Structure 1
Amino acid sequence: MNLSRRGLLAATGAAGALAAGSLAPASASGHGGGGPGRGGLRTGFERLAAEGYRRLAGRTVGIVTNPTGVTRELRHIVDVLHAEGRVDLKAVFGPEHGFRGTAQAGGSEGRSEDPATGLPVYDTYLKSGQDLADVFTASGVDTVVFDIQDAGARFYTYIWTLYDCMEAAALAGKRFVVLDRPNPVTGRAALGPVLHEEFATFVGRKPIAQQHGMTVAELARLFNGEFLAKPVELETVLMSGWRRADFFDASGLPWVPPSPNMPTPDTALVYPGTCLFEGTNLSEGRGTTRPFELLGAEGIDGRWAAAAEALKLPGVRFREAYFAPTFSKFANKTVGGVQIYVHDRAAFDPVRTGIGLLVTARKVWSGFAWREDDWIDKLTGSTSVRTLIDAGADLDRVTGAWRAELSAFRRTREKYLLYR
C-alpha cells in the first residue's frame, strides 16, 4: 500500500473519530455509563452509552476487554450491556491475563463461558493474523469493540492485542470500534528509543517510542494509517474532558489494575523505564507489593541507591531497600536494591530514569548480567542500549543514541493526536 492511500484511509478514520469527539456532553444516566468525573471527563464507553448505543445499533457485537472495562460505578461494561439488552452482544474476547484477569504474566484464561452472563469467552492471547480472524468469524459477530485501560508503554501488551485484533478484523471483514480511555501517565510526549522492526515481538510489534504518549484511540488511528497492510473499518469513540497533561488521578475514574503487577497508577508512572529490568538478572519487584518500584538482587547494597542519587535525575529520589519477593526472580530470598520515589511527576522522565538505573547497577554490582536471551533488546527495540551500557557509556551517551529516531516518530505521532 502506498503512503497516499494510507493517508486517505487515516483521514477517513479521523473523520469518524473527530465526529465522536464533537458530541456535546450529555447525561449518561439510565445507560449504565455514569456521569462525568472530576474535570468533566467521560470515557468512550460513557459517551457511547450517552448516545443510546446508536453506533452499535443493528450490529452483532463482540468485545475485547478485561477487568479495566468498567464504568465509574465499577460495573463491568459487559455486565451493563448484557443486563440492558440494547446491544446484541454475542461474545467476549480476552487478552493476556484473561477477561476476568486471573492469569499471571504470560498466561490467559483460555476458552470458557462467562458465569455472570453466559456469553462465550474467546482467548486472543498469542493469536494473530488469520488464526485470530478465524476466531472472530467463528464468534458470529460483525463488529468488534475494544475497551481496555492501557499503561502507556510500548511493551505493555494490550496495545498489541489492539493491533492484532484490528489486523484480524480487517482480514475477517469486521467493523472495529475503539472506546477510548485516559493514558494514565499523560499524553504530553513520546519518550525513549523507537522499536526497530527486526526486533518485533508481542512486547512491540511496530516502530513506536518506548513511552508512546498516546491514547488507545490515537494508537488505533496510527496503526491503521501507518502499519496495517489492510486497514480495518475503524471508528473511535473519544473521551471528552481529557487533556494531554492529565495524570490518571485527574480523571475521577476508579483504578482497576490492568494486570496483576500493575496495582496502582504509581506503578504505571515508573513502568516505562523500570520494566527494562525484566531484561536483566535483577528483580523488577514482581512478587512484592511494589512491582517496578522496587528493584534489586542478592549482593547489592546501599552503593546503588547512592549512585542513582548522584545522577540528580529530575523528579525522583532513591532509597536503599531490602525485600523478599514471594515469586519470580529471587523468590523467598532477601535481596538488596532501591525503591523509587517520584516527587515531581511533571519533571520525571521514566525512560531516562530506567536507563540511569541500568547504568549505575552495572557499575556498582559485579554480578550484573543481561538475560541470556537478550530480552533487553526486545524491550528497548534494538541492540543499542545493551551494547552502549556494556561499552561503559554514560547516561547521556545512551539516551542520546535514539534522538533522531524519536524525533521522526514524534512527527508521525502528531498526525494522529486527537486531544490538546
Structure 2
Amino acid sequence: MDRVPGRLSRRSVLALGGGAAVNAIACGGTDADSVSPAPDDPSLRPRFQVRTGLDRLVEGGFAALAGQRISVISNPTGVNGRYSHLVDLLHAHAQDTGGLTIGGVFGPEHGFRGSAQAGDAEGTGIDARTGLTVYDAYNASQATWESLYERAGAQTLVFDIQDVGSRFYTYIWTLYDSMAAAARRGLRYVVLDRPNPAGGKAYGPMMTSRFTTAVGKKEIVQQHGMTIGELARFFNGEFLPAEAGRPVELEVIECSGWAANMMGGDTDVPWVMPSPNMPTPDTALLYPGTGMFEGVSSLSEGRGTTRPFELIGGPGFDYHWSDRLNAANLPGVAFREAYFTPTFNKFVNTLCAGVEVKVTNSQVFDPIRTAVAMLVEARKYPAFAWRADSWDSARPHWIDKLSGSERLRTMIDAGASTDDIIGAWQEELAAFDAQRRPYLLYPR
C-alpha cells in the first residue's frame, strides 16, 4: 500500500499533495463529469412550516396540562418557534393563571440549561430564572427516577428534548428510563414531539442484549428513524410492559406539517444545539454513522473543532483516505481532504490528517454505510487502532457497544467489504422496520 506518514507537520502536509497544484486542478479542470456535486446548500433548501408539539401546546393555551401538577424533563432545545423555553412559558402561565403547578425540572446529560460538556451534568439546584428546583437526572437509574418523582411530587411528566435519531445519543434512554419509572408509579407522561433531523428512515445494525449500555439500552437499530414521540410509543408498546409491568399512560402531542422525508435543515423549526458537539442539523445527519469513530482510538471524531463528526482524522493518516473514499462513489456524499488540530478530546494540539464529510444529497445519503466504508479504508493504515475499554474486560471494545455487537469490528478486521458488512444486518433491519410500523405517526 502507499506509504503512510507518522506524526504530521504542516510542512509535510504540502509534501503529501496539498497546495497550489491541487487548487489548480480543482479550479481549472474541464472534465465536468469528474467534478463531485456541491454539498447541500442550506440557504437553497425549501423551508417547510412545521409546528412542534410545544408550539401546539402553547397555541392550545396549555389545555392538555390544565389543573395538573407537572414536572418537566427538558434541556435547552425545548423551545417554541420564537425561542421561548417550555419551562419559562409554563412558569409564566402558572403565575398568570394558576392553571397548573410546576413541581420541578429534570436535567439530562449536559444539564437543563446546557452548561455541561459531554459526559457531565449541572447538578441539582435552583434555576435562576424561574426559582424552580432543577434535579440532576443524568445517568439516573429507573429507581432514581422514581425517587426524584417522589421528591418533586410529580403527577404528570412533560418531556421536550430534541433528539438526533441515533441509538447512542443518550436522550432517548433518558426518555426510556423516565417512562418506565413513571409507569411503575402510575403517572401520566406527555411527550411534546419534534421532527427527527435525520429523517424517518431506519438504518444499521440491531443492538444485542450482551452489549447493552447507557448508549444503547434496548434492542433497536443504530439509526431508528423515528421522532421522539414515535419512539415513546414504540417503547411503550414493545418494552415497558415487560420492564415496568405495564405501559405508561402516554400522550404524544404531535407535530403538524412534518413528513419523514424532511431533514433538519428542511424545516423552519429552530435549531438549538442538543449538546455542545451537535452544532447544526447537518451534524445530526452524519452522527449516526461518524459517531462510531468514538470507538477508534487512532482517529479523532472532530471533537475540539468547529465541525465535530464532520471532520475525521488522525496523525497517522493522509490524503489517500479521501481519494479512496471518493472513488467508492457512495450515494449522497463527498469527501474533502482535510487537516485540523483539536483543542480538546483526542490529539489535543496535534495536527490530524483525514477528511471532511460533505453530504451532497440528503435524500439518498446513508450515514452508516458511509461510516462503514470510512472504517474499512481506515483499517488499512498501520496507525489504525480500536479503542479499548480497560474497565470492561468482558467487552473491551467501545465500537462493539456503539454498533451493538462484535460483528462490525470482526468483519472489518477480517477484511470484509462495505457491501458484505452492510448486507449482514439487512434481515434484522427489515424486521425492525416492520416492528416499528404500528407506532409511526407521520407519513413515510
Same fold per superposition (TM over 0.5): yes
Whether 1:272 and 2:281 are equivalent positions in the alignment is: no
What are the superposed Cα offsets for residues 237-282 of structure 1, whole Å, 9 maximum, x if unpaired?
1011111111123321211000000000110011110000000011
What are the superposed Cα offsets for residues 169-190 of structure 1, whole Å, 9 maximum, x if unpaired?
1122211100000001111x11
Query: What's 1:215 paired with?
Result: 227
What are the superposed Cα offsets for residues 65-87 of structure 1, whole Å, 9 maximum, x if unpaired?
00000111111111111112243
Query: What's 2:115 paired with?
Result: 102
Query: Match for 2:238: what amino acid?
Result: E
**Residue pair 1:134, 1:172 contacting (<8 A) in 2 also:** no
For residue 361 of structure 2, the aligned residue among 324, 344, 349 is 344
Query: What's 2:408 paired with?
Result: 385
Q: Of the two, which has the highest radius of gyration?
A: 2
Q: TM-score, normalised by structure 2?
A: 0.85
* Pairs within 5 Å for 1:206-355: 206-228=218-240, 229=242, 230=244, 231-281=247-297, 282-355=299-372
For the residue of structure 1 that corresponds to 2:288, the secondary structure is helix
For the residue of structure 1 that corresponds to 2:412, the secondary structure is helix
Query: What's 1:53 paired with?
Result: 62
Comparing 247-256 with 266-275, greater Cα deviation is found at 247-256
The unaligned stretches of length 5 or more in structure 1 are 1-36
What are the superposed Cα offsets for residues 277-296 of structure 1, whole Å, 9 maximum, x if unpaired?
00001100000000000001
Query: What's 2:210 paired with?
Result: 198
Query: Match for 1:98: what amino acid?
Result: G
Comparing 292-301 with 42-51, greater Cα deviation is found at 42-51
For the residue of structure 1 that corresponds to 2:349, the secondary structure is coil
What are the superposed Cα offsets for residues 220-243 of structure 1, whole Å, 9 maximum, x if unpaired?
000010011231111111011111
- 1:346 and 1:315 map into 2 onto residues whose CA distance is 7
* Pairs within 5 Å for 1:88-99: 88-99=101-112
- 1:271 and 1:333 map into 2 onto residues whose CA distance is 23
- 1:352 and 1:173 map into 2 onto residues whose CA distance is 42
- Identity over aligned pairs, percent: 57
Q: TM-score, normalised by structure 1?
A: 0.89
- 1:288 and 1:219 map into 2 onto residues whose CA distance is 31
- 1:156 and 1:387 map into 2 onto residues whose CA distance is 24
Question: Residue 38 of structure 1: CA displacement?
Answer: 5.3
**Residue pair 1:93, 1:122 contacting (<8 A) in 2 also:** yes
For the residue of structure 1 that corresponds to 2:379, the secondary structure is helix
Provide runs of 4+ in structure 1 moved above 6 Å: none
Query: What's 1:6 paired with?
Result: none
For the residue of structure 2 that corresponds to 1:415, the secondary structure is helix
For the residue of structure 1 that corresponds to 2:257, the secondary structure is coil
For residue 77 of structure 1, the aligned residue among 70, 86, 90 is 86
Query: Match for 1:212: what amino acid?
Result: H
Query: Match for 1:47: what amino acid?
Result: R
What are the superposed Cα offsets for residues 147-190 of structure 1, whole Å, 9 maximum, x if unpaired?
00001111111011100110111122211100000001111x11
For the residue of structure 1 that corresponds to 2:106, the secondary structure is strand
For the residue of structure 2 that corresponds to 1:376, the secondary structure is helix
Query: Match for 1:105: what amino acid?
Result: A
Whether 1:370 and 2:382 are equivalent positions in the alignment is: no
For the residue of structure 2 that corresponds to 1:39, the secondary structure is coil
**Residue pair 1:130, 1:171 contacting (<8 A) in 2 also:** no
For residue 160 of structure 1, the aligned residue among 173, 179, 201 is 173
For the residue of structure 1 that corresponds to 2:48, the secondary structure is helix
- 1:87 and 1:275 map into 2 onto residues whose CA distance is 40
For the residue of structure 1 that corresponds to 2:373, the secondary structure is helix
Query: What's 1:146 paired with?
Result: 159
For residue 192 of structure 2, the aligned residue among 179, 190, 196 is 179
Query: Match for 1:59: what amino acid?
Result: Q
Question: Residue 39 of structure 1: CA displacement?
Answer: 3.5
Query: What's 1:360 paired with?
Result: 377
**Residue pair 2:52, 2:269 contacting (<8 A) in 1 also:** no
Query: What's 1:414 paired with?
Result: 437
- 1:41 and 1:314 map into 2 onto residues whose CA distance is 28
- 1:251 and 1:180 map into 2 onto residues whose CA distance is 14
Comparing 80-89 with 94-103, greater Cα deviation is found at 80-89
**Residue pair 1:313, 1:353 contacting (<8 A) in 2 also:** yes
- 1:155 and 1:70 map into 2 onto residues whose CA distance is 23
- 1:193 and 1:293 map into 2 onto residues whose CA distance is 22
